[in-house]
Amino acid sequence: MKLDLYQVDAFASKPFEGNPAAVCPLETWLDDALMQAIAAENNLSETAFFVPTETGYHLRWFTPSVEVDLCGHATLATAWVIFNALGETAETLYFETRSGELSVQREGDELVMDFPAKTLKPLAMEAEVAAALGIREIEELLISDDIVAVVSEAKLIESLAPDMQRLKLLPGRGIAVTAKGSDVDFVSRWFGPKAGVEEDPVTGSAHTSLAPYWAAKLDKTCLIAQQGGQRKGQLTCEVKGERVMIKGQVAPYFKGVITLPSPQST
């Protein structure tokens, strides 16, 4: 059995920026273990698989070690593949996912994702989180799906070298470290060793918490965000009540073919 595979850079204006994702179009679902094995072989933070439905697409995301409930950059990557490689003419795509229905709309040379906003609550683990991150002070510590550690300066984020084993002991899916930006509204980095991703260059799903937080802090609903350490990408986030619109570009990198020994479908 042969399957097409696309690798594209999400939240990137050109290759080698943003966050690479693999996208694998399917006609019917493969066995879960096989999809997990493909994601592990790809060795990217996310591999997306999708199957057409009567109203859109059913979309699933896998890190090299687990299936996840929500992934922004691989959703953006999937929409790019459907629009540009597969020739979809609709202006909006609808995805059935573990996080409910998500949509992605074309807007010029960018794509806009409509995601549910997440509410943060205080987390009283400042000492443990600071030790895991290797920093002295955290201004504010919160949690939704991810821990959000707010620090005083963007330059602290650039130099982070967390202890991954300590991070694995913390609650939540992963940890986003964020600060007010200078050229952009806010900056962040995201670490998720429990999910098999030590650092994700640009995490769209994390901005479902980060964007509402900074919208309230900065008293604005439309924000420019930058995420990443050595490799970075930019997003535009607009908070609309209980939803967050996350906008970005996608740069194609390659198309290939996976060769599997025998069909395994469910």
**232 φ/ψ angles, rounded to the nearest 5 degrees:** -125, 160
User: Looking at residue 261, what is its pLDDT?
Assistant: 81
Q: How deeply is 237 buried, as exposed, middle or buried, from its count of CB atoms within 10 A (0-12, 13-18, 19+)?
A: buried
Task: Say which residues have a Cβ less than 8 Å from residue 1's Cβ, sequence separation at least 6.
Answer: 259, 260, 261, 262, 263
pTM above 0.75, yes or no: yes
DSSP for 41-65, please give it: HHTSS-EEEEEE-SSSEEEEEE-SS
Please give the single-letter amino acid code of residue 54: E
Residues 96, 104: Cα–Cα separation, whole Å: 12
212: three-class secondary structure by DSSP:
helix
User: Looking at residue 263, what is its pLDDT?
Assistant: 58
Give me the percent of the chain exceeding a pLDDT of 90.
97
3-state secondary structure 163-179: CHHHHHCCCCCCEEEEE
Delineate the domains of the chain, giving CATH numbers in brackets: 2-114+248-259 (3.10.310.10), 121-241 (3.10.310.10)
- pLDDT tens digits for 57-80? 999 999 999 999 999 999 999 999
Q: Which residues are catalytically annotated?
A: 46
Digitized pLDDT (tens) for each residue of the chain, 266 residues in all: 999 999 999 999 999 999 999 999 999 999 999 999 999 999 999 999 999 999 999 999 999 999 999 999 999 999 999 999 999 999 999 999 999 999 999 999 999 999 999 999 999 999 999 999 999 999 999 999 999 999 999 999 999 999 999 999 999 999 999 999 999 999 999 999 999 999 999 999 999 999 999 999 999 999 999 999 999 999 999 999 999 999 999 999 999 999 998 755 44
**Cβ-contact 258, 5 below 8 angstroms:** yes
Residues 131, 186: Cα–Cα separation, whole Å: 23
